[in-house]
Structure 1
Amino acid sequence: MHKESDNMKGLTTEQVVQAREQFGSNELTTKKRTNLWTTVLRIAKEPMIILLFVAASIYFISGKIGDGIFLSAAILFQAFISIYQYSRSKNALDKLKDFSQPTCSVIRNGERQKIKSEEVVCGDSLIVEEGGLIIADGKIVQSNDFSVNESILTGESLPVFKDKSSNDNSIYSGTTVASGLAIIIVTAIGNETRLGKIGKSLDSIEEEKTPLELQIANFVKKMAIVGGVVFLVVWIINYVQSHNLLSSLLQSLTLAMSILPEEIPVAFTTFMALGAWRLMKMGVVVKQMKTVETLGSATVICTDKTGTITENKMSLSKLFVWSTKKHSELNEVSTSEEKELIEIGMWASEPIPFDPMEIALHQAYKKFTPKDQRPDFKLVHEYPLAGKPPMMTHVFEDSNGNQIIAAKGAVETMMRVSSLTSTEQKEVNEVVHAIAKEGYRVLGVGISTFLGTVFPENQEDLKFTFKGVVAFYDPPKKNIDQVLKSFYDAGIKVKIITGDNAETTTAIAKQIYFSGFEKSINGDQLMQLSDEELKECVMETAIFTRMFPDAKLKIINALKEKRQIVAMTGDGVNDGPALKAAHIGIAMGKKGTEIAKDAASLILLEDDLSKMIDAIAMGRKIYTNLKKAIQYIISIHIPIILTVFIPLALGWIYPNIFSPVHVIFLEIIMGPTCSIIYENEPMEKNLMFQKPKPVSNTFFNWTELTISIIQGLVIALGILLIYQYAVYNGFNEELTRTMVFTDLVVANIFLTLINRSFYYSIWTTLKYKNKLVVYIIGITLLLMGLLLFIPPLTNFFAFERMNGSQLLLCLGTGFISVIWFELVKWRKRRKQNPHLIQ
């Protein structure tokens, strides 16, 4: 046995630099690149920009140069805001892409190094192993029991075994390693790979929109249609009354601008991208935007035991030698039989171990063997982990032809292939049960005396001699009991799905106060259940043991059929199907295979399940804050629409109280409010004590829409009362407009503050840490003060300075038209548990 670096030095640092200069980076580049120019073109096609452009053109044609310049400036401002939001979103997504990029192992300067896939160069010595994603084309120079799945290129789902003597000894980018390990010399990277040359077809693939995106797009589309119809009606009414084509067109454009909620798509994109970026900073990489939407709905977390609930720091602790029937702790090892058991367990492991149990066996072998024989033997045949429950077998041979055929795996499988009698099996099972119920993970160990070089297809066809049991202890993570409590508090069920046996899993579950540890089922039992029995079983059972890929997949699908939103953690090749099937597939960043990471929609960089609490909390916060933003947009658009439409439709004395200049000023105020203030809002303290939101809930449900509509109507009522008050007192059009506009801006400010929570009072939300609230409201007040008290601006907006009582009336009306909602929130809190009312 040898290390790769003993035989191979790989490229030097200088050779890597030269190769990168000659061949470039290992990246697939396509024509579909989103740059600044494409963003500008997209912005130019936005309905609001088009309306502004038309309105500005009419002003210029009419000779109102000042108004035309203002709207032109507004176009540039809107474009700047859009580009700024795009740039924030793009930067966040670029960082996510960097974090979620696959890594690989190469030999350089005689040492094994882990690098990003884009850093691979032609000529590199690339190490690919079971569960890995192949990221470049190359030729095999060394391999052990190596097979690849090339279905992405050939459509053939069965693995293909290859070595350096095969007719086709090449492997290709985009394929996956099904078993074994190989070292390849990279021959092509990026667009020059076989996958890269056919990758141009990727240009035509459109990314599928998420359900929430479709709901938002559908809502905005409907509002745009309504705006178009109303635009035509108002244009006709205005033209009939005034017979002035351009003036009537301007007034109808004003109404169209007020109806179009163009802030909603911008808010959605900003919230999702920045939410994913915030998750990344917390150590959670989101690969798909739809995952951010789904996180807040998760009802079940299916988790592995080893490395997720436990530390994944396996230490070899106990031995049971079958021939002597002797139990011993590792520090008591003294006999040749005990040392032989450790030695066989080591030979049954990978030559270069990465599994914690195999690392522990190698360390114990090195400690207790008088002479290290590993350099004298090399791996000549390998049976990967397989079977139900699984086992694995390795065949080693030295230069004299001496063979070692060692196996390890589930004790019940090792006893079966060793042909122990039922009495002997019962005796072993009693020992295993006693060890496992203390929380130890146990493996059976066996050796075969098979002679020859033509090995059977299945390892279970070899005849083995049962040598004994090795037991490992993997302590629970220190924070896992608190993590579980947080899941339970959030209304989320937790289920353990493991390949380990029931005794060990139950013992660990008891130690961490796992809810439902009393009931478990194994993979074989689960597969025998009918569909209806399975659905009931997955809801009632919390521990699933001796699980294999098909059984894991059945659990996930059964939970989904019971309308559960399932999050599933996994790290191995066999977890791929279940990770893909789950609503939220969660791969481990450190111990996870590339196949698991590729199948998952979310990666925990530190393999820490507590980060899922943070991720779910962030998902709930993003969803809640986005709802607040959209409800705010709907509420504030209603009074703008009605203030423009009602005086015209009812023939009031000042029918055109607002012009495009006034509406675009309001849009400039409202855009940052919904996209900046609400995105930056902290999570409400009761959010993680609520049940997960039903995924069937539409984003625009009638209860919440009704609240927004009523809020908007009450604000509109206050504004129209101010309008009528001004007319009743004989105020001119300019003063009436000033009072109506001031009332609307004041109501907008208080609506921003009130809608920061639909549960807690304004006195509570004022204590939230969000500096942007002060900045945005401060800027709004400053701008409003300039419009009211700087004569050139007052004249430009066709305003007139108000006296103190008029200003107080506007402030009071704007305040009252919004503050009433505090009574609704107070009543809602009265119905809740008193300990949540603060």
Structure 2
Amino acid sequence: MSTYNIPDHLKGLTDDEVTASRARHGYNRMEEIEKNSFLDMLADLIKEPMLILLFAISIIYLIVGDYGEAVFMFLAIIAVSAISIYQNNRSKKALQALEKLNEPLSTVIRNSEVIKIPTHDIVVGDLCIAEEGKLINADGRVLHSNDFSVNEASLTGESFSVFKNSAAENNRVYSGTIAVSGLAVFEVEQIGKQTKIGEIGDSILTIKEESSPLQIQIRNFVKSMAIAGIIIFLMVWGFSFLQSGNAVDSLLNGLTLAMSVLPEEIPVAFTTFMALGAWKLMREGIIIKRSSIVETLGSTTVICTDKTGTITENSMQLKLLYDYRSDRTFGEKEFGAPELEMLIDYAMWSSEPVPFDPMEKTLHKVYEQTREKDVRKDYRLFHEYPLEGKPPMMTHLFENLGSERIVAAKGAPEAILAVTTLSDTEKTRIRDLVGDFGRKGYRVLGVAKSGFSGHVFPEKQQEFEFEFLGLVAFYDPPKAGIQEVFRRIYDAGIKVKVITGDNADTTGSIAAQAGIVNTTKVLTGNDVARYTEKELMTVSEETVLFTRMFPQAKLSVVNALKKKGEVVAMLGDGVNDGPALKAAHIGVAMGSKGTEIAKAAASLVITNDDLGKLVIGIAAGRRIYTNIKKAIQYIISIHIPIILTVSLPLFLGWVFPQIFTPVHVIFLELVMGPTCSIVYENEPMEKNTMQQPPRVMTDTFLNLRELTVSIIQGVMITAGVLFTYQWSVQNGGNEEKTRAMVFTTLITANIFLSLVNRSFFYSVFDSFKNRNRLFPLIIGLTLVLLFAILYVGPFARFFHVTGLSPRELGISLLVGGVSVLWFELYKFFKRTRKKGLVK
């Protein structure tokens, strides 16, 4: 508890008291709407168009007495439902794992110890510690505070911070608000739905997540196909009835065709790809808040990154000390020099008593190493001015039992120089020195002292009269391997912007060492504030380094880039980064050093603060989007021959108009479902994916050229299937023989199509190098089932087919292969043409 400077009488609840409180008041969570219960899942399944069609066909078979077909349809319903439930469960478990990992921890005092617990474990009576940058997760009464202020905008809409203490009129804190400065201990009085935000926030639980552009496009495509299916169903039913006069057979023909038109695999594939993509990224240390953000990741065109701890190691080694009184610069081995005593003391006193910032930790460590007597325990922090200003500074006031005071300040050199009594000439000389340090890549802070004996403190720290003591220069080297990370980012066609609170010289030096290009032009936060919106759109596109940035300036740059058409990923870790993180397409918070408010505002959290993880996320987003497109193109291509094989013999008056019945179509659907939504989801990234420019996020998921390719593939497979049909008829094949050859050709074409469409650029042999263990499994199972249908008597009779001779089987396999493998020639010419253009 001493780590937090908390009074010893605040001991917190015992374990028994926690148990008793939880029994009375429950857990600290809003009542969750039960999602995906068995009844809900059943209700969702019943609404599925494919299942409605299967039920209708099953009932018709029962009415006409075809009990075998009816049983098969019921088994098909079970199979389709099982696949759907399996996919839903995979998605649900992945999302539940993400939600569990996203839950913040809260700091409480229990059994006289400070511990961290999951937020939902807070109970009434707990003593919670709220500190700068953290979310407050329950309602309560402040018992102890130290310069503690809260932003209550989530409740009141007021953006200004409110200072809180144990005074009766201002001692309440509320769940959902943010601690802006200082520290407080509060006793929990309400949790969960009983909190102030809980009382007004029930509606939050029912808010639906906004659909992404790809979701909307896919939904509209499926709706269009469903409408087309209804129209074709009515046409076929009417045409067939006019031809045969048999209402039941005509209805079955219409339902068969409607089933072949409906692309119900597409939305299932989309949901599965996104949820599992987010889950796989979680295992890489990338926590995705919303699964649909995976789609956006692959479209990233600009990464706006902080410098400290993202590009650099955040180790903050103290390298140089400049003492103003002696006008000397001291290296690391000289820190024990007597001239530096006051500079080191005041640099330490201006830091937090319990430091969490790497620079402040270093200053405390240097103080310990260079002082014979440690007097920190003799003084208490009794007034504090938090880090603020443009550029920022901070001031601490300490006092001992003898009423001796220390007033220490540190901050950006410009901020410290502005409040000291130095002459303009001296200020210019110090600025030149700061510039020299900055060009070496050092992070420089100014240190100053003041004397103040009164008790009515100035409203602003800048109103004190300060004496300039000197400069402290830290070196935070670029992370190992960061040059390779930026090379990969640039290779992927993504621009980089560095947005930092540091000065231009230091930022430029570190950026150059890290491999960031085009760093000559620099904008400061004040520069950004002076531009009009239109001007900022232009200069933000051209500029790489943004220094001395404050929250509104960061937000302005992000919005300008968005309006310019960029897809922006913004990396941030502080309270002040919240607005920019929220505004960016992808807000990225740092898991280790990030504040809770930054994590709450972000849509993605990198657990180990490694920028390279964002590159992994972008690659995953591109892989998933590419694989979704492959799955959809596969679905379109294979649906076309099914639709035409069902309809053309009927419309053209061929000898066997009902070559496929619902039994055959549902078998093909059951083969296609796992192929598109399970196998393609597992497909690894193609080798050229991260060498391509980002896709335009507003593009349709299939452009005209891609859709045309899929349609041509489908038409070619149809030509092969109908060729087999006619070959069988011309060679005296009966209906069972013809159906067997057509069915075998279509299954073969389906297998080859799934392999060929693994890449629309590289050859099928290259694709084999991308290991996907699910492909041989699904293909093997499909072939086993095909040969069982052809050569196992009961199955053959049920599917109304007969066994094929080696010659007939060979023709079906050959035609199925040729109808698909022609596409390899197209890919070959595509690769040849690209090589020619490159040359």
Q: What TM-score do the two structures reach when normalised by structure 2?
A: 0.97
CA 395–166 in structure 1, closer or farther in 2 if over 3 Å, else same: farther
Partner residue, 1:381: 383
Question: Which secondary structure does the structure 1 equivalent of 2:321 belong to?
Answer: strand
1:714·1:818 contact (CA, 8 Å) conserved in 2? Answer: yes
Counterpart in the other structure of 1:788: 790
Q: Which amino acid aligns with 2:677?
A: S
Distance 2:349 2:199 in 1: 43
Cα shift at 1:18: 4.3
Alignment of 1:335-350 (within 5 A): 335-350=337-352
Q: Quote the residue 1:216 is aligned against.
A: 218
**Aligned twin of 2:464:** 462
Which residue, 651, 654, 666 being the options, matches 2:653?
651
1:409 to 399, 408, 411: 411
- Equivalent in the alignment of 1:772: 774
Q: Per-residue deviation at 1:570?
A: 0.3
Superposition map of 1:374-453 within 5 A: 374-453=376-455
Q: Which deviations, in whole Å up to 9, do the C-alpha atoms of 1:480-526 show, x marking residues without a partner? A: 11111111111111111111111111121222232123332222223
Which digits, 9 at most, give the CA deviation of each residue in 1:7-55, with x for residues without a partner?
2333344544444444333222233533232112101110000000010
2:745 pairs with one of 722, 727, 743: 743
Work out whether residues 30 and 202 of structure 1, in 8 Å CA contact, stay in contact via their aligned partners in 2: no
- Partner in structure 2 of residue 677 of structure 1: 679
Aligned to 2:152: 150
Q: Which residue of 2 aligns with 1:490?
A: 492
* Distance 1:2-1:98 versus aligned 2 partners, 3 A rule: closer
Question: After the TM superposition, which of the residue ranges 777-786 and 290-299 deviates more from structure 2?
Answer: 290-299
Distance 1:314 1:13, change over 3 A: farther
Could you list the per-position Cα deviations for residues 39-86 of structure 1 after superposition, in whole angstroms to 9, with x for gaps in the alignment? 121011100000000100000011111100000010011111111111
> Which amino acid letter does the alignment assign opposite residue 671 of structure 1?
G
Residues 787 and 226 (structure 1 numbering): CA distance in 2 closer, same or farther, change over 3 Å? same
Cα separation, 2, equivalents of 1:633 and 1:542: 43
Whether 1:42 and 2:49 are equivalent positions in the alignment is no
Provide the residue aligned with 2:4 in structure 1. Answer: 3
Query: Matched residues in 1 for 2:533 and 2:548: separation?
Result: 20
Match of 2:194 in 1: 192
Mapping 1:713-728, distance limit 5 Å: 713-728=715-730
CA contact under 8 A between 2:791 and 2:802: conserved in structure 1? no
1: distance between equivalents of 2:722 and 2:555? 60
Tell me which of 676, 698, 710 is aligned to 2:712: 710
State how far apart, in whole Å, the 2-side matches of 1:750 and 1:158 are: 64
Q: Structure 1 CA distance, aligned partners of 2:835 and 2:768?
A: 23
653-662 or 366-375, which deviates more: 366-375
Number of aligned residue pairs: 837
Q: Which residue of 2 aligns with 1:276?
A: 278
Percent of residue pairs bearing the same amino acid type: 53
State the distance in 1 between where 2:587 and 2:364 align: 33
Amino acid at match of 1:88: R
Alignment of 1:54-203 (within 5 A): 54-203=56-205
Q: For residue 292 of structure 2, give the secondary structure of its aligned residue in structure 1.
A: helix
Sort the Cα spacing of 1:332 and 1:110 in 2 relative to 1 into closer, same or farther, 3 A.
Answer: farther
Within the candidate set 731, 734, 737, 2:736 is matched to 734
Is contact 1:5–1:110 with CA below 8 Å preserved after alignment? no
Shift of 1:201: 1.9
Once residues 624 and 599 of structure 1 are traced to their aligned partners in structure 2, the CA distance between those partners, rounded to angstroms, is: 28
Match of 1:832 among 812, 825, 834: 834
Counterpart CA distance in 2 for 1:790 and 1:580 is 61
1:688-720 C-alpha deviation (Å, 9 max, x unpaired): 111111112111211111111110011011111
Matched position secondary structure for 2:717: helix
The gaps in structure 1 that reach 5 residues or longer are none
Instruction: Compare 143-152 and 633-642 and name the one that shifted more.
Output: 143-152
Candidates 294, 300, 303, aligned match of 1:298: 300
Q: In 2 relative to 1, CA 713–196 (structure 1 residues): closer, same or farther, beyond 3 Å?
A: same
Shift of 1:836: 10
Q: In 2 relative to 1, CA 157–512 (structure 1 residues): closer, same or farther, beyond 3 Å?
A: closer
Which stretch shows the higher mean deviation, 753-762 or 547-556? 547-556
SS at match of 1:420: coil
Q: CA 1:802–1:114 in structure 2 vs 1: closer, same or farther (change >3 Å)?
A: same
Q: How does 1:507-656 map to 2 (within 5 A)?
A: 507-656=509-658
- The Cα offsets for residues 81-116 of structure 1, whole Å up to 9 and x where unpaired, read as 111111111110011111111122223343333332
The match for 1:244 is 246
Distance 1:358 1:658 in 2: 76
With structure 1 as the length reference, what TM-score do the two structures score? 0.97
What is the distance in 1 between the residues matched to 2:309 and 2:836? 39
Could you list the runs of 5+ residues in structure 2 that have no partner in the other structure? none
> What is the DSSP-based 3-state SS (H/G/I as helix, E as strand, rest coil) of the residue aligned with 1:167?
helix
Which residue number in structure 2 is paired with residue 205 of structure 1?
A: 207
Q: Which amino acid aligns with 1:356?
A: P
- Cα root mean square deviation, aligned: 1.8
Q: Which moved more, 1:46-55 or 1:435-444?
A: 435-444
- Partners of 1:835 and 1:532 in 2: CA distance: 37
Correspondence for 2:481: 479
Distance 1:131 1:635, change over 3 A: same
Aligned partners of 2:581 and 2:181: how far apart in 1? Answer: 19
Amino acid at match of 2:489: F
Alignment partners' CA distance in 2, 1:502 and 1:214: 44
Match of 2:505 among 482, 498, 503: 503
Contact between 1:2 and 1:378, CA under 8 Å: does it hold in 2? no
Aligned partner of residue 678 in structure 1, secondary structure: helix
Provide closer, same or farther for how the CA distance between residues 434 and 202 of structure 1 changes in structure 2, counting only shifts above 3 A.
closer
